[in-house]
Each structure stands twice: as structure tokens, then as C-alpha cells.
Structure 1
Amino acid sequence: MSMTFSLIAPASFTRPEILDQAEEALRQFGIEVRFPAQLQKRHRYLAGDVYHRLETLYAAYADPDTDAIWAVRGGYGCAHLATEIDWRRLAPKPLIGYSDLSVLLDQCHRHGLPAIHGPVMKEGVKLTSDDPALRAASQRDFSALLALLEGRPADGVALTPITATTSAIIEGPLVGGNLSTLASVAGTPLAFRAPPGAIVVLEDVGEPFYRLERDLWQLVYAGALDEAAAVCIGTFEECVPYGDLRIETLFDTWLTPRGLPLYAGLPIGHGRDNLPWRYGATARIADGQLQFGA
């Protein structure tokens, strides 16, 4: 099944040639993307000032001939938009993205709009990568994204229990995203708070461990995880460790005293694998697996 997506650039600027390459690769994969007349109007390191990025967002949602709204990339700046959006103007189309988009995905869910944590549009270039493993992973993730939009959830993935028993059964809304992004909005009107019984996914990229620990501490003491039922660790790509400290140990330090079951092994994040999932849909941990909601 082919689908057409409205493109938005809610965060950082992307070189146009990268978007051209991604568009061609995605077309061969059966995905059509629709560029607005002026997707980007560069403003410092951003794809435009707040006004320009808002107008392209509204125009994308208003297009009656597209199936979903797709961010070309993350980066920086989504929080600028989230405080300004007139949510009544947005049609009930799913917003797709991750990383800095985490704040917009969370706000969509709060306002009753569908959202999908998944690959951004510019990552379509991976479909033609010379690396067969990267190409295969990208084909799997984009196929899973199309399946999700058709109402079919992704297959379950095996988890590694860190401070949880393999017999545990946990069911609740799947939320979360990029750790540093979610920590950055603590103490603002956009502050992330896991819904009661939620399974929280956290991932990050390019951060040294001391910053990750600072961000995790901030989420914990801001009360963001007070009502969560479990935390699942995605990938922490290119995050610089401190000696032999493991990311699981870092999370264990702050979450286990609060009675939060902790799991690792999710193929979600900035690495080779980024399996898409519907933000806020009911997920289930059982028999050592995370089962995604449709």
C-alpha cells in the first residue's frame, strides 16, 4: 500500500540535497512525500523562525490528500512550537518523528491527536546505504511504519530485565522518547509526566554519561516518572561512557530505589534500528517481550 506524507521541518535545518536523496529512496519504497512551497526558511541553525515553522505545520495538517505528517528531522526547536500551536487547527493525522520531536509527540497525545515515534524522513537515505545491515534495518523500520499506519502493530521485541522478573506482566500506555529533550522541558508548561501505569521508553545520542545522569536525575526529581509502571531503555548511540560504567547501571542507580522495573534491549533510538511505535497506545510486557499497541 502506498502512502503520501505532508512534510514539516519543526526543528533544525537540513541540507536540501539530503532531502532530495531521501525523497528518491522513499519513492522507490512506495512512499510519496509532499513538500510545501517553502519547507525551510533558514533562521540560525533552525529550519525557520517560529512563525514560519508554525505556518508550514498548519498547512501540512490542512492538506486533505495526505495520510500523515512527517518531520524531516529532529535537532533543536520543537519546544518553541509546542507552546504556540493552536491545537484546534490540527486534523487527526498522525505526526511521525523522534528525538527532539518527543516533546511534540507527547503534546499531541495530551491533546488527543495521534502520534508515532519512528524514523524521520531524511533517514530514507538509509534505504540505499552501501551497508547491507543498515539497509536491511531501514527497510524493516519503514515497512513497520507503513504497517502501523495501516493499523497493524509492530511485532513484539525481546527485553532484557535489569531490575524486573521475567514473570512480570505490565500493561499501560507507551510514552517517552529522547531523554535529554524530555529533561529540557521539566519545569515548563510542556513538562513530561508519565501517565498512570505507563511504560516509558528512553533513548539518546551523543551525550556523555554525566549528562545522561543529570537528565535522568532531573526527570526523576521533577516527578516525571512518579506514576510510571516500568522503564525500557532504548539505544544510547555514541554516548561516551565513564570508565566501565554501563548505561543499565546508571539507570538502576536512580530508578530501582523508587521501585520502577527496568528493562533494556529495545531497538529504538538514533542507531541502526529505530522500530516505530504508536505514542500513548496500550503496550504490554509479558514473557520477556514488549508487545506494541496498534
Structure 2
Amino acid sequence: MKKHIYIYSPSSAVRDKTAFKRGVSRLNALGYSVEVDEAALSSHQRFAGDDETRLAAIHRAAASGADLALISRGGYGLTRILPAINYKALAKAAAKGTRFVGLSDFTALQNALLAKTGAVSWAGPAVGEDFGVEGEPDDIMEACFDDLITGQGEGTGWRLPKVAMKTGANGAGVAGVEAGLTVKNAVLWGGNLAVLSSLVGTPYFPAVKGGILFLEDVHEHPYRLERMLTQLLHAGVLARQKAIVLGQFTNYKLVPHDKGYKLATVVAWLQSQIKAPILTGLPFGHVATKVVLPVGAQVTLAVEDRDAFLLWGHSH
């Protein structure tokens, strides 16, 4: 029996309809049964319909009974409607087997769902950005997506970058990680840094202690990334985690004023501020090659030399 995918638009309007239709066609071609929400291509200002339209789409996705509910795209739009979402309905759908998948702006809904109910959702691809690209979609992304929808995925792994950051003032960092690191039974959470930091101080920010926080972003200069990380630092969030895992930070431009200040500078500074190890290079973010990650699930993080693994088994 074909796996059922429900596609909906909870955030920004779909402007590139060609990519959207291409993505839907490719999902059909991969053998899935694809259902497109009635308001998926709606438009109101910069949003995929007004607030009520997008709320209704989210709730239709929860009621669809689909194996997987997939966003059309990210952008902006979810934070303004977080108070009106029926989280119990989404958690009930997740318990029955619907996997809610997305990234970017979807970080707001994922972390709100975790904060309100403890339910697990999945950080992963979007229709237009990933399946609707010109040329062929990334093989690794497709394989991870298929593992998720078929229930075969047990974890993911990646190679840590060769250039290791310096050991921090607390003795943590890659130097310690290379000797071997294992973090067991820790909640994996996070997502887009800009979206996540905007939730600090609200009821939609998960109170995760002893977790593994993963982060990514796009179009953000390193100094802006540092400013958002500093907010999480000063709020006490980073000190409560067992590890920080950094994904891909893309599409920014350094300027002469930086004088050598770059992303590696930010990471090294951050490592000097916290005891938890910081791992880099996670293949997740606004990039073609992306894995899927269970937001809110208990995972094990293990490092052997330069090989890092996040493992969660079949329980989710």
C-alpha cells in the first residue's frame, strides 16, 4: 500500500508554483500517494492565506490520517498563529503515526508542539526547496526521507570537519570529542536559530534540560548568529544542554569590516563560554543534502574519531 503524504502551507505563500508542482510530481513518481491541501497555493500578503486559512490547513493536516504531513515551504508565518493551534490534535495525530515534517519557519510549530505536549515531529525537507529543485533532488535527502516514511530510519551520521576548533577554556571542544564522546537518552531539539531564539521567554519555548540542541540558519552573517546564540547563552539555555550540534549556516557574505571575524570565530568563542561540546558539520539546513531529525525524541549522540552519530532506533 502506498504511503500517504499530505502537503500543506502553514507559513509563506508559494511563489514558485513551478517548483511546487515539480515537487508534487516527483513525490508521486517515487511511489507515494500525494494529497495536496485545498489552500496549499493560497496567498494573502506574504502568507499562504490569512491566519485562519493557515490554521485550518494545519488542522486538516492533523486530521488527514496521512503517514506524513509535509510543508510546501518555510518563510514566515507560524509564530503569529502559535496561540491558536490545537496542539492536542497534532499530538494525537502524531501518536497515531502521522509524521509532521519541515524546516526553517516550521521550527516554531515543532518547538511549540514539544513545549505544549512533548510530541515528536521531524526536521526534514520541504516540497519546493527540496523535491521541486531543477535537476535531480539530492540522493541522501531522498533516502533519509524514504527511511522516515517507511519507518526504517534508526539514526544518522556524518563526518566532522577536518579543521577542528580549538579547545575551549573549560577543556571542552573537538579535542575532547576526538577522544570519544557518548551522550545517552538526551532529547534532541532545536532547528532554525533565528526562529528558535524568537521563542525565548514565550510558552512555546521547550524547557529542555540535558538535551542535544541542533541549530542551522540561512542569510545570517556570523555576527548576527553570535547575537542570537548570545541570547540563548544569557537565557541559560545553552548551559542546560549536554551537547550543541551545528548544522549548515549558508548564504551570507563576509565584508572587509569583519577583519578575520567569521563563523569559526563565533564557534570558538561560544565553546569558551560553555562546558558542553560543540559539534559541527551536521548535514542539515538550507542545503540540498539534508538528513531527517526527530525533534523531541530521546537520542544517543556518539563520536568515534571524526565520525559522529545520532541514534534513535524505531521507537519514534
TM over 0.5: yes
Q: CA 1:109–1:187 in structure 2 vs 1: closer, same or farther (change >3 Å)?
A: closer
- Measured in 2, the distance between the counterparts of 1:31 and 1:243 equals 50
- Measured in 2, the distance between the counterparts of 1:255 and 1:103 equals 26
- Measured in 2, the distance between the counterparts of 1:181 and 1:29 equals 32
**1:127-206 counterparts in 2 under 5 A?**
129=135, 135=136, 138-149=138-149, 150-160=151-161, 162=165, 163-164=173-174, 165=176, 166=178, 167-171=180-184, 172-193=186-207, 195-206=208-219
- Measured in 2, the distance between the counterparts of 1:30 and 1:245 equals 47
* CA displacement at 1:238 relative to structure 2: 1.0
Q: What secondary structure, in the 3-state scheme, does the structure 1 residue paired with 2:231 have?
A: helix
* Structure 2 letter corresponding to 1:283: T
Q: CA 1:270–1:9 in structure 2 vs 1: closer, same or farther (change >3 Å)?
A: same
* CA displacement at 1:228 relative to structure 2: 0.4
**1:167-246 counterparts in 2 under 5 A?**
167-171=180-184, 172-193=186-207, 195-241=208-254, 242-246=258-262
Q: Which residue of 2 aligns with 1:37?
A: 38
- Measured in 2, the distance between the counterparts of 1:245 and 1:31 equals 46
Q: Which residue of 1 aligns with 2:132?
A: 125
Tell whether the 8 Å contact from 1:78 to 1:101 is kept in structure 2 after alignment: yes
Q: Which residue of 1 aligns with 2:114?
A: 109
Q: What secondary structure, in the 3-state scheme, does the structure 1 residue paired with 2:84 have?
A: coil
Tell whether the 8 Å contact from 1:9 to 1:71 is kept in structure 2 after alignment: yes
Q: Which residue of 2 aligns with 1:74?
A: 74
Q: CA 1:170–1:248 in structure 2 vs 1: closer, same or farther (change >3 Å)?
A: farther
TM-score of the two chains, using structure 1 as the length reference: 0.89
Q: What secondary structure, in the 3-state scheme, does the structure 2 residue paired with 1:83 have?
A: helix
* Structure 2 letter corresponding to 1:106: N
**1:23-62 counterparts in 2 under 5 A?**
23-62=24-63
Q: For each residue in 1:184-232, what CA deviation from the matched residue of structure 2 results, as whole angstroms up to 9, or x when unmatched?
A: 2222222354x22211111111111221111111111122223101111
* Structure 2 letter corresponding to 1:42: S
Match of 1:271 among 283, 287, 306: 287
* CA displacement at 1:272 relative to structure 2: 2.4
- Measured in 2, the distance between the counterparts of 1:75 and 1:156 equals 28
Q: For each residue in 1:22-59, what CA deviation from the matched residue of structure 2 results, as whole angstroms up to 9, or x when unmatched?
A: 11122122233211222243121010121111111111
- Measured in 2, the distance between the counterparts of 1:70 and 1:107 equals 17
Coordinate RMSD, CA, aligned: 2.0
* Structure 2 letter corresponding to 1:152: G
Identity %: 26
Tell whether the 8 Å contact from 1:148 to 1:154 is kept in structure 2 after alignment: no
* Structure 1 letter corresponding to 2:288: R
**1:1-16 counterparts in 2 under 5 A?**
2-15=2-15, 16=17
- Measured in 2, the distance between the counterparts of 1:231 and 1:114 equals 19
* Structure 1 letter corresponding to 2:239: D
Tell whether the 8 Å contact from 2:111 to 2:205 is kept in structure 1 after alignment: no
Q: For each residue in 1:160-186, what CA deviation from the matched residue of structure 2 results, as whole angstroms up to 9, or x when unmatched?
A: 464131122223222111111111222
Tell whether the 8 Å contact from 2:10 to 2:78 is kept in structure 1 after alignment: yes
Give the paired residue count: 285
Tell whether the 8 Å contact from 1:199 to 1:283 is kept in structure 2 after alignment: no
Q: Which residue of 1 aligns with 2:170?
A: none
Q: Which residue of 1 aligns with 2:100?
A: 95
